[in-house]
Structure 1
Amino acid sequence: MLFGMVCALGAAVCFGTATVFQAVAAQTAGTGGGGEAALLLRAVRQWRYLLGLGLDGLGFVFQIAALRSLPIYAVSAALASSLAVTAVVAARLLRVRLSGTEWGAVAVVCAGLAMLGLASGPEGKEGGSDALRYVMLGVAVGMLLLALAGGRLSGRARALVLGLGAGFGFGVVEVTVRLIDSLAPADLLTNPATYALVIGGGAAFILLTSALQRGSVTTATAGLVIGETIGPAAVGVIWLGDRTREGLTWLAVLGFAVAVAGAMALARFGEAPVEEPAAEEPVA
């Protein structure tokens, strides 16, 4: 369990730090002309963007390792804490000023994760039914359809809906990692959870990008945190046998709520602030 919590926190550190490096790279890449393809080509030529991608990949490896040894509710809360990492790294590298409330939210996230670490039991031993695998595939396909229709949504609720959709997509990834019990090629190809993982993850990235482009970053990220924590945690407890240590259910529930609330207070860091150019000296 200690190994799993270390991996979960490692994933949060990787994802949160990657956000800052990619934000800086995207700002620099956006100074040229051309469309989205040209923007991406300029971004991937920068070491910060490539470092961010590498950190994302390492974070995903940590996430898988954590999900194999910890309950989903503990891992999902730890991943939501990546917003706290982004805030701290942005304050250090980009000199972004955090308010006293935001520093307090970082401390709240840490306190919530500490409570979860103390209360979490081992991962559930139930492998999940075929029906659950198909349900996850259905949810993943639904999120993909939402991603394809995202540009047609309008109104103030658009960012929240897209953010929630992204959270559900990432939640599908968290659950399906537990539903894949064999890595043999033949088993992977016949397991609906494999397709749910790929489709859900792809839809989540599309939805999150659309949400951040089409509405409030804070609203979209709040929806993301809700979607990727509460649903997967419930699935883990109800269908996969996730439990807490004997007599510490109350502490796990409290820690989960505290960590998620602290992460939502830092929702503006869902898209990391970028470094502002220095003001030019007036010409005498």
Structure 2
Amino acid sequence: MVLGLAGALGSALCYGVASTLQALAARLTAPAGGLDPRLLVRLARSWRYVLGLVLDGAAFLLSLAALRTLPLFVVQPIVASFLAVTAVLGALVGKLPLRRSDKIGIAVVVAGLALIGLAATGDSPRPVPAAVSWAVLLTAILLVAVALPLGRLPGPRGAAALGAVAGAGFAVVAVATRTLPAPLTLGGVLADPAAYGLLIGGAVAMLAYPTALQRGSVTLATAPLVVLETVLPAAAGLLLLGGTTRPGWGAVAAAGFVTAVAGALSLARHGELQPGRPARGPR
């Protein structure tokens, strides 16, 4: 369990640095019309975005390790605390100093994570019905169908809508990761529909989030992402995958979950180092 908690915290650290780099890269790249995969090609010319992708990969592997030993409702709010990392990072480089409310937000996140850690218990993945794996894949496909029209929304509405799409995509990734068979084998993964849902959900999220950052403020794009990527997997874990807490600690876990997510949302403005800088050509 301790290694799982360490993996989740390490994932949050990597995601925090990665999101800062990617948000800045998105603002410095020519905007896309709709959900245009060519945006990712343009972003790939930015060393900031590429480094962010490397850190995203490390974060995913760490969260994968965490989800093999801890339930979703424990791992997801810890991962969502990446916004506390971006807040501290922004303050350290001097571009976005911490306000009093930001310091309170960081303290709230830490308090929530402490409660979650106290209530957590080891919980390895359990076999799930095939219907659950197929449901993960179907959800990912439906997300694509929803994302395409939402990708045409301009301005703040588009930022919020695509942030929500990205959050739902990352939620699919988290649930799919938890449902993969244990132990992980290449044959088992390739035969599991959830693995393909993971790929589709991840691809949608990776395209939707930078597009959202180009449409509006970081807060508009990030707040719905944090809520959906945290709440949806937690609910799925409790309702479908048998997630549990230490006996008698359910209320503590719930309080920690709400506290950590609320604190993370209060820090959503820290998604980039230089807010408000206009987009221009790729670098």
Q: TM-score range by the shorter chain?
A: 0.7 to 0.9
Query: What is the identity, as a one-letter code, of the residue corresponding to 1:84?
Result: A
Instruction: Please say if residues 8 and 79 of structure 1, whose CA atoms lie closer than 8 Å, have aligned partners that are also in contact.
Output: yes
Question: Counterpart of 2:233?
Answer: 232
C-alpha distance 245-42 of structure 1, shift in aligned 2 (>3 A): same
Question: Counterpart of 2:2?
Answer: 2
In structure 2, how many angstroms separate the alpha carbons of the residues matched to 1:70 and 1:89? 28
Query: What is the identity, as a one-letter code, of the residue corresponding to 2:93?
Result: L
Deviations 1:110-153 (A, max 9, x none): 11001000001222553221111111111111222233323323
Instruction: Answer yes or no: is 1:63 the counterpart of 2:72.
Output: no
C-alpha distance 275-265 of structure 1, shift in aligned 2 (>3 A): closer
Counterpart of 1:40 (choices 25, 36, 43) is 43
In structure 1, how many angstroms separate the alpha carbons of the residues matched to 2:92 and 2:163? 27
Coordinate RMSD, CA, aligned: 2.5
Bigger-Rg structure (1/2): 1
Question: Counterpart of 1:168?
Answer: 168
In structure 2, how many angstroms separate the alpha carbons of the residues matched to 1:110 and 1:94? 22
User: What SS class does the counterpart of residue 200 from structure 2 fall into?
Assistant: helix
Tell which has more relative contact order, 1 or 2 (C-alpha 8 A, sep 6+).
2
Question: Counterpart of 2:214?
Answer: 213
C-alpha distance 184-133 of structure 1, shift in aligned 2 (>3 A): same
Superposition deviation, residue 109 in structure 1: 0.4
Question: Counterpart of 2:101?
Answer: 101
In structure 2, how many angstroms separate the alpha carbons of the residues matched to 1:24 and 1:162? 17
Instruction: Answer yes or no: is 1:250 the counterpart of 2:261.
Output: no
1:1-284 matches, within 5 Å, as 1-23=1-23, 39-40=42-43, 42-43=45-46, 46=47, 48-123=48-123, 125-153=125-153, 157-181=157-181, 183-269=184-270, 271-274=271-274
C-alpha distance 98-187 of structure 1, shift in aligned 2 (>3 A): same
In structure 2, how many angstroms separate the alpha carbons of the residues matched to 1:242 and 1:175? 12
User: What SS class does the counterpart of residue 160 from structure 1 fall into?
Assistant: helix
TM-score, with length taken from structure 2: 0.86
User: What SS class does the counterpart of residue 89 from structure 1 fall into?
Assistant: helix
Query: What is the identity, as a one-letter code, of the residue corresponding to 2:150?
Result: G
Superposition deviation, residue 161 in structure 1: 2.5
C-alpha distance 237-205 of structure 1, shift in aligned 2 (>3 A): same
Query: What is the identity, as a one-letter code, of the residue corresponding to 2:211?
Result: S
Instruction: Please say if residues 127 and 178 of structure 1, whose CA atoms lie closer than 8 Å, have aligned partners that are also in contact.
Output: no
Bigger shift: residues 118-127 or 216-225:
118-127
Superposition deviation, residue 187 in structure 1: 2.8
Superposition deviation, residue 258 in structure 1: 0.2
| Percent of residue pairs identical | 43
Instruction: Please say if residues 26 and 211 of structure 2, whose CA atoms lie closer than 8 Å, have aligned partners that are also in contact.
Output: no
C-alpha distance 104-3 of structure 1, shift in aligned 2 (>3 A): same
Superposition deviation, residue 210 in structure 1: 2.3
Runs of 5+ consecutive residues of structure 2 not aligned to the other structure: 31-37, 278-283
C-alpha distance 117-195 of structure 1, shift in aligned 2 (>3 A): same
Question: Counterpart of 1:282?
Answer: none
TM-score, with length taken from structure 1: 0.86
Deviations 1:68-89 (A, max 9, x none): 1111011110111001101101
